[in-house]
């Protein structure tokens, strides 16, 4: 029974997140446009998530109090390179999935973003979303599951939830891979600022390198399946290796 409760309890954070999102969205006056509502909603949710994280979970240590000694510059460089490579893979995968299956949710999101104020778009994408989503998915969801189910299972599951939260098919694989990188960075450093940094970097690449041209062979089915399978396998293996040190 305790295992079941340990599994279900963190999902209440996600449910509460979306309930509050809906409340904040619809209580705003009609004079606020749709994207402005999203920014206000994101700011409000950010405040709630940060207060929850600082008030209830920041003082709770992970199962092991041991933290790796690490070279900060080396970790930042590795995270930058890995995140960039995963972003490239995610872009090719997203384009492939869109061409094969289409995605109405992605079309609606793209239309909304194209009409949004550029400043608000940057604030939400590069500040509000990374902080709120990392504190929610890594600082709360992952940390809570980790106490009951261990590092690997919790890392994979929280990354999957994180990917599903984005609400589009084309974003699913990339968000899942980024979630795994964020879990690894969080576990290795024990500091939430590193997964937040990874998230900001990933979103920055999506904004400033959007429309980058890539070789045609990278959009082949065999290429997509092979490199995504390899990336998932390596990241989960790294999480498994990391868990052996605890």
Helix/strand/coil percent split, the chain, to 5: 80, 0, 20
- Give the three-class secondary structure for 70: coil
pLDDT for the residue 84 = 95
Q: At what angle do helices 151-165 and 221-243 cross, to 10 degrees?
A: 140
Condensed to tens digits (0 to 9), the pLDDT of residues 133-168 reads: 898 899 888 988 998 888 999 999 999 999 998 888
Q: Which residue has the tokens 């995504």?
A: 228
pLDDT of residue 10: 74
**What would you report as the CA-atom Rg of the chain, rounded to the nearest whole angstrom?**
18
Rounded CA separation 218/216 (Å): 5
Query: With a cut of 50, which residues of the chain have pLDDT below it?
Result: 63-66
Q: What does the pLDDT read at residue 72?
A: 81
Residue matched to tokens 């399946």: 225
Element (H, E) at 201: helix 193-208
What is the structure's pLDDT at 43? 64
Report the 10 Å Cβ neighbour count for 76: 15
Non-local (6+) Cβ contacts of 155 within 8 A are: 142, 146, 180, 183, 184, 187, 236, 239
Give the number of C-alpha atoms closer than 13 A to the C-alpha of residue 70, restricted to the C-beta side: 19
**Spatial CB neighbours of 6, under 8 Å, sequence gap ≥ 6:** 144, 145, 147, 148, 149
Rounded CA gap, 194 and 183, in Å? 10
């Amino acid at each position: 029974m305790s295992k079941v409760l340990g599994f279900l309890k963190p999902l209440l954070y996600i449910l509460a997140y979306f309930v509050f999102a809906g409340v904040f969205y619809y209580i705003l006056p009609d004079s606020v446009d749709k994207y402005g509502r999203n920014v206000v909603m994101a700011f409000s949710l950010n405040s709630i998530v940060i207060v929850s994280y600082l008030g209830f979970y920041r003082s709770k240590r992970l199962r092991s109090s041991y933290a790796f000694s690490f070279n900060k510059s080396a970790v930042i460089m590795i995270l930058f390179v890995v995140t960039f490579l995963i972003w490239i893979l995610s872009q090719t995968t997203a384009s492939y999935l869109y061409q094969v299956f289409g995605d109405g949710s992605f079309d609606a999101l793209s239309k909304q973003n194209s009409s949004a104020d550029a400043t608000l778009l940057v604030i939400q994408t590069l500040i509000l979303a990374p902080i709120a989503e990392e504190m929610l998915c890594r600082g709360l969801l992952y940390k809570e599951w980790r106490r009951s189910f261990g590092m690997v299972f919790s890392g994979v599951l929280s990354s999957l939830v994180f990917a599903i939260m984005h609400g589009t098919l084309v974003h699913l694989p990339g968000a899942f891979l980024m979630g795994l990188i964020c879990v690894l960075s969080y576990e290795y450093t024990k500091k939430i600022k590193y997964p937040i940094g990874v998230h900001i970097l990933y979103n920055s690449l999506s904004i400033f390198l959007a429309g980058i041209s890539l070789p045609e062979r990278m959009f082949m089915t065999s290429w997509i399946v092979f490199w995504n399978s390899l990336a998932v396998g390596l990241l989960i293996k790294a999480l498994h290796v990391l868990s052996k040190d605890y």
